Every structure is written in C-alpha cells, then in structure tokens.
Amino acid sequence: MSRYPRPFLKWAGNKHRSLDRILPRLPAGERLIEPFAGAAAVTLAADYPAYRLVDSNPDLIGLFRAVRDGGEAFIQRARALFEDGNDADLYYARRAAFNAEADPVERAALFLYLNRHGYNGLCRYNRRGGFNVPFGRHARPYFPERELAAFARQAREREVDLAVGDFETELDAARPGDVVYCDPPYAPLSTTADFTAYAPGPFADDAQARLAAAARRAAERGVPVVISNHDTPVVREYYRDADLDSFPVARTISRQGDSRRPVAEVLALFA
C-alpha cells in the first residue's frame, strides 16, 4: 500500500506511482504551484505551507472547488450518484445531464461520477465541448470518500488556491518562494501515441516549446520549475539546459491493455 494520499480522480498520467521520484526533486518553498492540475497527486502528497492548482479544464477545477468549499456536504451529494448501481443507460443519461448542467456544484458531482464510471478513467470532449467518454463497464465503481475527505481536510488546514488558466501565464506570474511542478500532456513517443486530449484543444509542439521557455524565464527570476515528460530526443532538446533525471514508468492508461509496458520518462529541473 502506498504511503502517499491517493487522488480522488482517475486520470491519464496520474503521478501517484512516481511520487518517490518527483517529491525529492522539488525544492523547498512557500507555495507549490501546479499549472496542469490533473489529479493533483503531487499537491496531495507534497508538504508546503500553501498550494495553487491551475488547469485549462474548468470542469476539473470546478470539482476541486466543490470539494474544497463544500466539504462533507458535497461528498455526500456526490455519494448519492454512486448508489444507483452501474448501468449503461443511467451513465449516458447522466452524461447528457452533465453536458446540459449549469449549476456548478451539481456539475462537479456529475463530473466525479463520470470520471469513475466512464471508460478507463479518460476525460475527453468533442469539438462542441461536450464530454463524450463512453460507459466503462466497471464491476463496482469505487466512491473515493476517504480521498475526497483528505483533500477537503488539506484545504481547511492550508491555503489551496484554485484557478482556471493558462500554464504560461501562471509560470510568468510565479514569484520567488514559489515552486512549480508541471505535468503537461506528454510529447508523443511516436506519431500514433498521442494522449493529449484531456481538455478542449491540443497541446502541440509549440506548446511544449513555450512551456520550456517559460520554465527558463521563471528559473531566471529565482523560481524553480520541475517538469515531467516522456524521455525522447525531442523532449531532451526542449530541456537541454535543465538538470535531467530519467527513469522507467509503467503505463496506467492505454488504448490496449496488453500494451501497458514501461516507458522512459524524464524529470527536468530548471533552477
């Protein structure tokens, strides 16, 4: 069993299994910023006086905000959605309800339901912005009550700031005393291995280059930045002036179960 708190979300690229590598690479500071919040595995496990979680996906940040602000009341509201069994018709009805929902708290509860009942923990949207992940056919979807309560408790005990925003803006606004950990959609290993559709809009090569440039600017201002990515020649060129640590990581989400083999990842420290 892991000694670190588990995220309450299933998420492609979730860093829970890599925390033993990542946490020692994070310098000391007054606030940890994650501009690609995802499942927030690093924020949940790291020990800082304050945190800032940012993501381009408003549904993701909306869920974190609902847990932070609603606490136990929100957890029980979300739990009710898990008590009706695991049925495809119900899933698709709730997916349609989510796509039409305007109330932020109800939308957050439905987002958690879809995350735990949908296929392979994916988060995917169509061109119109509609959530379109198919039914997951899980035997018994897990309701992450302990994990939700742990984040709510963390948000009570320490400052946890939340925002929908752009990674480059966040990095340029970081100040000395901040530490930034970036877990962007990874650069593809090949032209057919591209898992970047976590939010509307692609994360292309120019975005990878902008991230590296923003990390350099932050480091020049005295803000250390750590970035995770695939270990490929292209990525190494992006991070050519950073301190690099490479290691194998087992895939946790793949289109084909038999292709979940270890791949090389790199941690780049700009400081």
Taking 90 as the threshold, does the pLDDT of residue 250 lie above it?
no
Closest CA to 185 of 172, 170, 167: 167
Of the given ranges (63-67, 227-231, 239-243, 256-260), which has the lowest mean pLDDT? 256-260
CATH of the domain at 212: 3.40.50.150
In a domain, 126, yes or no: yes
In the block, tokens 């005393």 appear at 177
| Average pLDDT along the chain | 91
Which domain-ending residue is among 145, 174, 192? 145
Residue 163: is it exposed, middle or buried by C-beta count within 10 angstroms (0-12/13-18/19+)?
A: middle
Say if residue 79 is in the same domain as residue 211: no
Say if residue 128 is in the same domain as residue 219: no
In a domain, 129, yes or no: yes
Say if residue 239 is in the same domain as residue 173: yes
Per-residue confidence at 82, pLDDT binned at 50, 70, 90?
very high
Say if residue 123 is in the same domain as residue 213: no
In a domain, 251, yes or no: yes
Say if residue 27 is in the same domain as residue 69: no
Q: What domain range includes position 258? A: 16-56+165-270
Query: Residue 62 in contact with residue 89, Cβ under 8 Å?
Result: no
In a domain, 1, yes or no: no
Say if residue 174 is in the same domain as residue 250: yes
In a domain, 237, yes or no: yes
Helix (H, G, I), strand (E, B) or coil at 227: strand
Say if residue 33 is in the same domain as residue 74: no
The percentage of the chain sitting over the pLDDT mark of 70, rounded to a whole number, equals 90
| pLDDT, tens only, 167-218 | 999 999 999 999 999 999 998 886 554 444 444 445 677 899 999 999 999 9
Say if residue 194 is in the same domain as residue 247: yes
Which domain-ending residue is among 114, 145, 176? 145
Say if residue 91 is in the same domain as residue 209: no
In a domain, 94, yes or no: yes
Say if residue 51 is in the same domain as residue 133: no
Long-range contacts of 85-92 (CB under 8 A, 24+ apart): 86/117, 86/137, 86/138, 86/139, 86/140, 86/141, 88/135, 88/137, 91/117, 91/118, 91/135, 91/136, 92/135
Say if residue 169 is in the same domain as residue 48: yes
In a domain, 247, yes or no: yes
Say if residue 248 is in the same domain as residue 176: yes
Q: Please count the structural domains in the chain.
A: 2
CATH of the domain at 106: 1.10.1020.10
Which domain-ending residue is among 145, 179, 199? 145
Could you tell me which residue, 138 or 40, shows the higher pLDDT?
40
Has this prediction a pTM greater than 0.85? yes
Per-residue confidence at 121, pLDDT binned at 50, 70, 90?
confident
| pLDDT, tens only, 143-167 | 999 999 999 999 999 999 999 999 9
CA distance 9 to 87: 20
In a domain, 27, yes or no: yes
